[in-house]
Structure 1
Amino acid sequence: MRSFAYVRPPDVAAAVRAIAAEPEARFLGGGTNLVDLMREGIETPATVVDITGLPLADVEELPGGGVRIGAAVRNAELAAHPLIRARYPVLSQALLSGASAQLRNMATVGGNLLQRTRCPYFYDEAAACNRREPDSGCGAIGGLNRDHAVLGVSDACIATHPSDMCVALAALDAEVEAESVRGVRRVPLTGFHRLPGDAPHVETDLAPDELVTAVELPAPVTTTSRYRKVRDRASYAFALVSVAAALEVRDGTVTAVRLALGGVAPKPWRAHEAERVLTGAPATEEAYRRAAEAELTAAVGRPGNAFKIDLARRTIVATLRELGREGS
């Protein structure tokens, strides 16, 4: 591991000044991803800026029924928070399905947003990986790709985004607040993470000198929501396919739907086409299936992961079916 300097700033302003002054600095929150990457030599910061002491660990109700979540809130605390459990059950469920209890006790909201792919080629220095080393190639495309993406991929990268939390946030129309020496800005969660295109090493819309300070959720369109995760084992496993869904049904018709997918794309995948097909449609199995098929029309399967397309279709339908029964 490369030697590094350590800084513990007293406030947010000092934290963003510290990283602005050192282009090779990295923020340290829970450390559940960054420390692993440093041990593997993938991240080699010259300075680690410890932000664990900053006042970013509150969950606050906003006027109008929304919620503001500080970036330093631990995943376990957020999942158990009464406001989240009551208004955004899909988010609480997504958080509880991620990692292990020990990791959830350490991992932060900001760190979860910024975690990097778990693609084995990314972690293998002997393998080609455009995220780790631009223009080196993508070993997964012609290699072992069972866990890889089928939506939003490119010839440069087919890695998936690992977060469960972010899939729920995408469905909930969350916004990310980021601060730098230039001021504060907000980015919709659906635009925060980038698709790989021809530059997969640029993974988010965040500038190198920006600090994620909060996530804001608008008032929910409905509290009838669910996170469904399909994986190889019941805990401590990443999603093969996951679905975050919120559904409102009135008089047998879908009046509101929010849908996002995990495990199938290089970013949390907001299913806009499925939402378009389903809004105003009857709350029936056939309508759910049409919506799922419309969303997955552009999916590209490879020998190892083509099964994900049908798995995603069936998981979407099953999740909507359950919510439709609850909301009718």
Structure 2
Amino acid sequence: MTEPQSKKSKMTSALDQLKSFTTVVADTGDFQAIENFKPTDATTNPSLILAAANQKKYAHLIDKAVHYGAKVGTTLEEQLDAAIDKTCVLFGQEILKIVPGRVSTEVDARLSFDKEASIEKAKKIITLYEEAGISKERVLIKLASTWEGIQAAKELEQTYGIHCNLTLLFSFYQAVACAEAGVTLISPFVGRILDWYVSNTDKKTYEPKEDPGVLSVTQIYNYYKKFGYETVVMGASFRNVGELKELAGCDLLTISPKLLEELAKSSDPVKQTLSVSAAKKMDLEKISLDESKFRWYMNEDKMATDKLADGIRNFAVDMRKLEDLLKDKLQA
């Protein structure tokens, strides 16, 4: 072996360096990808579940969900509802055989403005996990960061001990409301914020340090640590490894297989950029929100309003596609 090759073999990958600062989560429904990159946790959403459900290697899970729906439901609507929930839980079960930590399972995006229905759906999902022998401590219920979603999470956490992951989060004020509600975890969407600015402003390229999504998560992380909130921050929806490196030190980062592979193949240095000690020293003002203030601040933030609505719509579209897939099988 030549000297350069020997030195290269001893270098720590960018992924392993990142893992030394941050808990890495796999953003996928593909079990093989999860096994390859050995994340601590994994998170799914309707789009990821749909993509996996259309692959032949996961057909046995879909068949199992359809059989379950046909058994427990009387009407086609009841059967379909049960089959959808079972599909999401079956994928979660398989993921939990691989990761040592938790899996996030999403409540139907069409319930994003219905607090009570979101609570009932979350309880039903947790019951399915518990019936499969999986503790609710290993599951995060994902809810959209609408006012209703945040209040549903507050009740789930406080009354039922069900831990929640608030997703589709694009605004500092969504993050503040989540912290005040005492939710377990938030998922601010870095890449989708960048997408909006590229599409809606004259500036088309951003260095990682000035990336608006990176700046948003940095602000939220520092605010949480400054004021001692227990809610943890999991940056999500990344477009490039530069964004990930700029958020090294964030509590968690959920990363697609493509970017996980890029990090694993790289030996470029990764330095910690976020820390509790640095955040504690910052001169920040603490704020408090009620429903009217929350809705006003969201109304004032066109990016956050656009991306929240767009995200809910897109997840709903993919949920309908998954329903159609299951419905065809139930009717057959």
TM-score interval for Structure 1 and Structure 2 normalised by the shorter chain: under 0.3
Task: Give the structure with the larger helix fraction.
Answer: 2
TM-score between the two structures when normalised by the length of structure 1: 0.23
Task: Give the structure with the larger strand fraction.
Answer: 1
